[in-house]
Amino acid sequence: MNFDLTDDQREIQRTARAYLGERYTPEMVRAIAFGGRPDPYWSEIAELGWPDVADLGTVELAVVAEELGYALAPSPLASHWAARLLYPGLQGRGTLAVDGGPAPHADGADVVVLARDEGVFAVADPEIEPLRALDATRPLFAVRANGGVRVEVPPLAWEGVAVAAAAEAVGVAARVTGMAVEYAKERRQFGRPIGSYQAVSHACAQMYLETEGARSLTYWAAWALDHDPEQAPLAAACAKAYASDAAVHVCRSALQVHGGIGFTWEHDLHLFLKRAESSARAFAAPREQRERVAELLLRAT
């Protein structure tokens, strides 16, 4: 069985890395997150077809989601995917709010999908109120709405949401690992690059190990959603739990590698850490996902 990306998937990956890297520079990310500037690229992203990339397959969705995390893109694309996976008939841009929680990027959404105990509903033009968010690149809004159109959620839609979130976490971990390795090569103490010291090199190696482990689990889950639906619930829960934890661990380790500069507002590490922390808690936190894994394994015995 070959789990390598196909040529077409690699081309999507290459295109996404180049496109997002050119547009979402660190300066642009900060301007959108802290300067009140709206994301200027949604129309271009829509023209590329990325809002509907899940139609190609879950692996293709995971490929683009990983690049979103790698670029730390302050884009509403991830929240739109979550809404559309639950509501395939969605027209325009959407976002998702779960169990009365906040909805990311609700200020520009045409439809907010509300997941409640009694079902999933699509609401157009609900009342929203901005909230203070840990991750400034992903603004949150309280949603107040009654009624709405009941949505028939497709099988494994929630697993698709989990895999997309896991893939984004992989992208964050990969970017931060690269940042730490480059810094360890350049920063010198006592006449030597700090990467030559065992404590630093071991930390970077562990970051790489966790990132690649998260990537393997996430693409297994994406493949399962496309080809092995019986394994997909277990795979998705494993991927979301491990990738969420890995992204947080990697960002925290990178802070230690960078030392004092890594804790400054001017450095970008805190932005990645906040994305990792907030994403980990979205769509069921790692602990809840591990409980889901245990439940599924018990059922199988």
Q: Which of 135, 68, 224 is nearest to 80 (CA)?
A: 68
Phi-psi region of 170 (alpha: psi -120 to 50; beta: other; left: phi over 0): alpha
> What DSSP element (H or E) covers 255?
helix 232-258
* Per-residue pLDDT tens over the stretch 172-231: 999 999 999 999 988 878 878 887 788 899 999 999 999 999 999 999 999 999 999 999
Question: Coil, strand or helix: which one is 175?
Answer: helix
What are 77's two structure tokens? 């694309």
- Per-residue pLDDT of 86-128, as tens digits, reads 999 999 999 999 988 999 999 999 999 999 989 999 999 889 9
pTM: 0.94
Express each pLDDT in 261-291 by its tens digit. Answer: 888 989 999 999 999 999 999 888 899 999 9
**141 contact partners, CB below 8 Å, separation of at least 6:** 102, 103, 104, 105, 106, 107, 128, 129, 130, 131
Domains of the chain: 157-300 (1.20.140.10)
